[in-house]
Amino acid sequence: MRFYEYEAKQVLAGYGVALPQREFATTADAAAEATSKLGGPVVIKSQVLSGGRMKAGGVKFADTPEEARDHAAAILELTINGLEPAGVLVEEKRSVEQEYYAAVTYDGRAKRPLIIFSDMGGIDIEEVAEQYPDHLSRTHFSASRPFSDFTAKVAVASVGVTGRDLNQLTRIVAGLARLFLERDMTLAEINPIGKLDDGSIIALDCHLDMESEARNTHRALLQEIGVPDDDNRQARPPTQFEIDAANVDAADTRGVAGNLTQFDGNLGLIIGAGGGSLTLFDAVRAAGGSPANYCEIGGNPSVSKAAALTKLICEQPQVEKIAVMMNVVSNTRVDIVARGVIKGCIEAGFDPAEKIAIFRIPGSWEEEGFALLEKYGVEYVDRSVSMHEAAERAVAKMGA
């Protein structure tokens, strides 16, 4: 779950990291007022959950409140990568002499947290890693032991920083690492860290991603910075179809029938489980099909839950047919899913034999499931037909 910059900086401030004076504003007038209050030239930054703000015109400089009002008005209207800003952050403008980069994340290969530090901040870090490897350090540490400052010092010193800068940067990086561990982040990044003309070093930007699974642990913090409980912070805002599917999943704890993502095609997909859904979605596209959605069913959902998801998908006007497909199932039952999809089709006012292009779920209780499908005239296949072949058959029916 990604934080907006203004929220991330609030969290960062709690870990002793120096930051520019700043105000969050949701209207152009409030931005002008904030500029008066800060009393000098400011930078106005779009608060949007996307990178590339500068390039998109989401960051502008202003010397006066009037100028700030105009820029803020423009930025508040500007969508970046399809996302609308939550507001603007108005910050005092500081003159920066040197930029640094610091990030803490998990390294799945080493299975430990990792500090990435560079004295080439402000630019794409993958580019630094490829072209200037001497300017980048990678320092692992333990997630079990309390964080010790020397680890941050080693990370900073490894790229050749010394003197007063080393000590200031060590404090910032150590604060970032503690924040990362204590707040269950999956990424904590400051890019850039800026050394100012007076020699002080502060965080100019901040990107934090908190593990969704740990949200409940940090409810107090989330309340303090004003993140609503139902704000899931996906890479793009959910569509109504997606919200409805999430509600279907949440309404019944028996198994999974949800994780739906909308696409712009005409073939509704009821697929599972995790890896099976990825495989089948690829298979449908490889066959030339155009999915109306991605979703996941698994963990043996109840009949009513499978039915509710089926009904929802069938009711979308763009959906012409649905395909019900999974890998060979172990704990999910073929007959239970078969009952659910047939019921959902009928509840949505469709004939299952027409609406269901194919049913390919082999595995536990398949004899019972196949008998049921037979009764309702639904085309089904067993494990002798591969996931890819099943997807091809479904797609072939769409033209007919």
Partner 1 sequence: MSILVDENTTFIIQGITGREAVTMAREVLDYGSKLLGGVTPGRKGRDVHGVPVEDTVRAFTERERVDASVVSVPPAFAADAVNEAIEAGIKLIIVVTERIPRKQVAQFVEYAQQEGVRLIGPNCLGVISPGKSKVGGVGGAVDSARRAFVPGSIGVMSRSGGMTVEIANSLSEAGLGVSTAVSIGGDAIIGSTYAELMPLFDADEQTKGIAIYSEPGGRAEYELADYMAESGSKLPVVAFMAGRFMDEMPGMRFGHAGTIVEGKADTTAEKIANLEAIGISVAERIEDIPRLLKERIEG
Partner 2 sequence: MAAMFIRVDIADSVQDDPAVCQQLVEVCPVDIFELDDGGRVRTVEDNLDECTLCDLCIDATQPGQIDVVKLYRE
Interacting residues toward partner 1 by CB under 8 A? 106-109, 111-113, 126, 142-144, 181, 184, 186, 211, 213-214, 217, 234-236, 259, 261, 272-279, 281-283, 285-286, 294, 296, 298, 326-331, 362-364, 383-384, 386-389
The token pair that represents 34 in the structure block: 């904030």
CA nearest 176: which of 16, 49, 2?
16
**Smaller CB separation from partner 2, 60 or 333:** 333
Q: Which of 165, 368, 379, 389 binds partner 2 (CB under 8 A)?
A: 368
- Phi (first) and psi of residue 267, to 5 degrees: -100, 110
Considering CB under 8 A, how many residues would be counted as binding partner 2? 16
Of all residues in the chain, what percent are helix, strand and coil, respectively (each to 5)?
Answer: 40, 25, 35
**Smaller CB separation from partner 1, 130 or 351:** 130
**Smaller CB separation from partner 2, 119 or 249:** 249
Does position 364 interact with partner 2 (CB under 8 A)? The reply is no
**Smaller CB separation from partner 1, 297 or 312:** 297
CB of 211 to partner 1, least distance (A): 5
The crossing angle, in degrees rounded to 10, of helices 303-315 and 240-250 is 170
CB of 275 to partner 2, least distance (A): 25
Query: Which one of 132-140, 200-208, 270-278, 339-347 is the stretch in contact with partner 2 (CB under 8 A)?
Result: 339-347
Please name every residue paired with 22 in a beta bridge, in sequence order, or none if there are none.
91
**Residue 45 host element (H or E):** strand 42-46
| CA 87 to chain centroid | 20
Query: Which amino acid is present at 258?
Result: G
Residue 153 half-sphere exposure toward CB, CA atoms < 13 A: 8
CA nearest 391: which of 352, 358, 355?
358
Interacting residues with partner 2 between 279 and 338 (CB under 8 A): 302-304, 333, 335-336
Tell the residue number behind the tokens 């002798």, with chain if given. Answer: 384
CA distance 195 to 187: 23
**Smaller CB separation from partner 1, 41 or 238:** 238
Q: Strands of 88-92's sheet, edge to edge?
A: 22-25, 88-92, 42-46, 59-62
Interacting residues with partner 2 between 263 and 282 (CB under 8 A): none
Q: Give the other-Cβ count within 10 Å of 375's Cβ.
A: 11
**Smaller CB separation from partner 2, 321 or 333:** 333
Q: Give the other-Cβ count within 10 Å of 200's Cβ.
A: 12
CB of 184 to partner 1, least distance (A): 5
Asked if 379 and 338 touch (Cβ cutoff 8 Å), the reply is no
CB of 140 to partner 2, least distance (A): 47
> What's 345's DSSP letter?
H
Q: Which of 99, 347, 379, 382 binds partner 2 (CB under 8 A)?
A: 347
Q: Which of 346, 381, 385, 396 binds partner 2 (CB under 8 A)?
A: 346
Asked if 93 and 134 touch (Cβ cutoff 8 Å), the reply is no
Partner whose binding site includes residue 3, from partner 2, partner 1, none (CB under 5 to 8 Å by kind):
none
- Phi (first) and psi of residue 150, to 5 degrees: -60, -30
CB of 375 to partner 2, least distance (A): 4
Q: Which of 219, 236, 375, 383 binds partner 2 (CB under 8 A)?
A: 375
Give residues in contact with partner 2 (CB under 8 A): 302-304, 333, 335-336, 339, 342-343, 346-347, 368, 371-372, 375-376
